[in-house]
């Protein structure tokens, strides 16, 4: 139990650290950062439940006021921003990513991890992010979807990186990833 709590906290910290990497703000107020890579990695490494718990911890810390989001943002004010759907979608994205790895993680882990990260870290996350943008920016779903197209190439690269990380961790510690112990 103690080890699992440590892993959950570690991945929340990883996402915070990825927010420190250089980022830039798009004209409509949404930052481009490496934090979604941490969300994908939480899912592929920790699995559905623990990956989601690590992102719930992160969300709670940010809402409590810690400036852990890209650009040093934190507090309840992030709920009023255009990226609220992405931010609140992180636990769901990590859960979906982890669930796919848990169900299909017996084959080529690079492919499974990449596919899982695309489904969870792109499709699930974008569905919630687009919805949040549409609401916060008073746009149609189609308009909000068009606005986020710029993120897709970078997020596909992040998904491949998450797949490579899963494969490397599984090679370094055989059984550690898929056993979830």
Indicate whether 94 pLDDT > 70: yes
Indicate whether 178 pLDDT > 70: no
Over the stretch 102-115, which tens digit does the pLDDT of each residue have? 999 888 999 999 99
**Closest listed residue to residue 39, CA positions, set 18, 24, 63:** 18
Query: Which domain does 107 fall in, by range?
Result: 2-179
- Overall domain count for the chain: 1
Find the radius of gyration of the CA atoms of the chain.
Answer: 16
Instruction: Return the exposure string of 162-178: e unless at least 16 CB atoms fall within 10 Å of the residue's CB, then b.
Output: bbebbbebbeeeeeebe
Average pLDDT, the chain: 92
pLDDT value, residue 146 = 96
CB 62 within 8 A of CB 87: yes
Under the banding of pLDDT at 50, 70 and 90, the label for residue 28 is low
Instruction: Taking residues 8-21, report their average pLDDT.
Output: 93
Instruction: Taking residues 84-105, report their average pLDDT.
Output: 96
The 3-state DSSP class for residue 72 equals: coil
CB 48 within 8 A of CB 99: yes
Kindly tell me the burial class for residue 24, based on how many C-beta atoms sit within 10 Å of its own C-beta (0-12, 13-18, 19 or more).
exposed
CB 129 within 8 A of CB 85: yes
In terms of DSSP H, where are the helices of 47-151? 48-63, 84-104, 109-118, 125-137, 141-148
CATH of the domain at 164: 1.10.1760.20
pLDDT value, residue 33 = 83
């Amino acid at each position: 139990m103690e080890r699992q709590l440590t892993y959950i906290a570690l991945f929340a910290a990883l996402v915070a650290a990825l927010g420190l990497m250089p980022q830039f703000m798009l004209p409509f107020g949404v930052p481009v950062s490496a934090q979604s890579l941490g969300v994908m990695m939480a899912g592929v490494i920790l699995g559905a439940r623990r990956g989601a718990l690590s992102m719930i911890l992160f969300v709670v810390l940010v809402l409590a006021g810690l400036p852990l989001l890209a650009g040093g943002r934190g507090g309840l004010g992030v709920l009023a921003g255009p990226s609220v759907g992405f931010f609140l979608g992180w636990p769901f994205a990590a859960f979906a990513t982890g669930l796919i790895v848990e169900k299909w993680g017996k084959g080529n882990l690079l492919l499974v991890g990449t596919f899982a990260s695309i489904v969870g870290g792109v499709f699930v996350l974008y569905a919630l992010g687009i919805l949040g943008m549409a609401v916060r920016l008073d746009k149609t779903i189609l308009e909000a979807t068009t606005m986020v197209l710029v993120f897709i190439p970078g997020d596909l690269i992040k998904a491949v990186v998450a797949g490579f990380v899963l494969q490397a961790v599984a090679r370094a510690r055989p059984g550690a990833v898929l056993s979830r112990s």
